[in-house]
Structure 1
């Protein structure tokens, strides 16, 4: 009977294996996290009508999985959200098998919308941006260590490594631009985003890679997806401070420096920043507001297919 019912599949992805659970069939299987394993998995799920395939974001492992299952109704779940759901059901134990079952239950109960398929060039851009972020973190850590070095050998090695990181970052930026320039739609998106005062070509490329949905969202959705929409805290007559959480950290990371620039040189956003500071808001809150306005503006401009124009005084 269960073979004819729509199924929600939960998959826990690890380096070596894919632990799967079909619900309501209640059937679990494990497959190797290899090309042969993907082929066997696709054959296994073909026996049902599958509504969703839920899995957690796991970096390089989930990207290979997504590419192998193109055309399937994939739902990527934030690991923290998945863990909180499991705790809400009273499940405290954590194993790969339990996680797969919980993901299937979560998909069935909450019915998250499957992710739209991403083009191969966007997957490549996302991989480049992730690699670039890693190099930037390495550069920052090395610069911090460099301050405490005293031996000439170590200083020389640190300098050479920093030069190597700079070359690698330049190569990544060049390849990202090559990918963008090969697609007229991406060229136009980059042109629109980079037209916003405070945002440059590099940030535009990062936003295209990390938030390809820009232009297809409502403004509130764009802010929420980036994790820049304030979350209210209220109970009875008590009201706590609003805060941001969740969303895509890499989008916020890409927007932070442009927001600092926009707070000084973008006439519209500079006025808003100064207004918030004058009202006694902390600088961090004011900058977060500027970041939110940047992503909302980019979304609205792409949707309207027009570049940013400075407001008249």
Structure 2
């Protein structure tokens, strides 16, 4: 059996469990702790090292261990908890979680994908920050419509002006990083050649879905969370749903599909056919999202821009 390492990540420390030795220990979640962890895992001849996604606290350990040469995988916390419940393990502590992560990886053998480099991580962080600023602008604009007091309106206008300046600054930063990377520049041009896909969608896909163009259409749809899954038992058949995957990618694909369903002749005809066949409009848009992603995947794979029939 390969040596598999499960790591439960918190802000201050990393709880580690090693299989099959069943060795457990912890180190600090800092540079010194990661260096110590790398030395111990090297002595243990670790094969796969798995960490839970924890909103960013795992990034230091994942990057440090990956650069040392370990095969690192970041696993979905919801899947790990479902696996624990299936085993009947209700107790939850950091050492127990580390052991469950190791057991989950041993049982499921998740695919090991290369981690993003530092420049890609920074680009993704800027894209995420831009999305937060847009959400704050939308919230303040909604408050402006409801504001009655003059002082409140002035405060909202001042904040909106500052937020819009920050949005311009972030867009300039993204423009500069795109210009410096020939690969990203080409990818953005290819993606935005499709009617309905703007810079925001293209840059989100560049940041959040580097696998675009390297997987088949079914796997890329599953990765984005737009592949429908069915519920069926005996003669009963429930409705199909989408979910899981990368929510940020799914969100921009939804907006892009709405635009494409009006302005992209191929996707508009596709969506209209589904509606004419009696499909609910939301189902038609979800199918349009999936078809749009398939088109974008093929464009990046082939390196050829959109060509309307």
Question: When the two structures are superposed, what TM-score results if normalisation uses the length of structure 2?
Answer: 0.95
Determine if the alignment matches structure 1 residue 45 to structure 2 residue 35: no
What's the counterpart of residue 193 of structure 2?
195
What displacement does 1:250 show? 0.5
What displacement does 1:189 show? 1.1
What displacement does 1:163 show? 1.8
What's the counterpart of residue 6 of structure 1?
2
Determine if the alignment matches structure 1 residue 54 to structure 2 residue 50: yes
What displacement does 1:61 show? 1.3
What displacement does 1:113 show? 1.7
What's the counterpart of residue 286 of structure 1?
284
The one of 203, 206, 214 equivalent to 2:204 is 206
In structure 2, stretches of 5+ residues that fail to align are none
What's the counterpart of residue 242 of structure 2?
244
What displacement does 1:192 show? 0.9
**Alignment size in residue pairs:** 307
What displacement does 1:285 show? 1.2
The one of 212, 218, 221 equivalent to 2:219 is 221
Q: Secondary structure at the match of 1:60?
A: coil
Contact map agreement 1:56 1:79 (CA 8 A) in 2 = yes
What's the counterpart of residue 307 of structure 1?
305
Contact map agreement 2:15 2:98 (CA 8 A) in 1 = yes
What displacement does 1:191 show? 1.1
Contact map agreement 1:125 1:179 (CA 8 A) in 2 = yes
Which whole-Å CA distance do the structure 1 matches of 2:22 and 2:140 have between them? 50
What's the counterpart of residue 265 of structure 1?
263
How do 1:136-175 residues align onto structure 2 when only pairs under 5 Å count? 136-175=134-173
Residues 98-121 of structure 1 deviation map (CA, whole Å, 9 limit, x = unaligned): 111110100111111222132222
Which whole-Å CA distance do the structure 1 matches of 2:105 and 2:12 have between them? 24
What displacement does 1:159 show? 1.7
What displacement does 1:92 show? 1.1
Determine if the alignment matches structure 1 residue 15 to structure 2 residue 11: yes
Contact map agreement 2:196 2:257 (CA 8 A) in 1 = yes
Which whole-Å CA distance do the structure 2 matches of 1:148 and 1:94 have between them? 45
Q: Would you identify which runs of 4 or more consecutive aligned residues in structure 1 move more than 6 Å?
A: none
What's the counterpart of residue 179 of structure 1?
177
The one of 65, 80, 84 equivalent to 2:61 is 65
Q: Secondary structure at the match of 1:124?
A: helix
What displacement does 1:141 show? 2.8
Alpha carbons of structure 1 residues 237 and 258: separation in structure 2 relative to 1, 3 Å: same
What's the counterpart of residue 82 of structure 2?
84
Determine if the alignment matches structure 1 residue 97 to structure 2 residue 95: yes
Which whole-Å CA distance do the structure 1 matches of 2:173 and 2:238 have between them? 46
The one of 12, 25, 32 equivalent to 2:21 is 25
Q: Secondary structure at the match of 2:306?
A: coil
Cα RMSD, aligned residues only: 1.5
Which whole-Å CA distance do the structure 2 matches of 1:165 and 1:282 have between them? 38
Alpha carbons of structure 1 residues 118 and 108: separation in structure 2 relative to 1, 3 Å: same
Q: Secondary structure at the match of 2:175?
A: helix
Residues 157-183 of structure 1 deviation map (CA, whole Å, 9 limit, x = unaligned): 222222222222222222122222212
More moved, 34-43 vs 208-217: 34-43
Q: Secondary structure at the match of 1:10?
A: strand
What displacement does 1:231 show? 0.5
What displacement does 1:143 show? 2.9
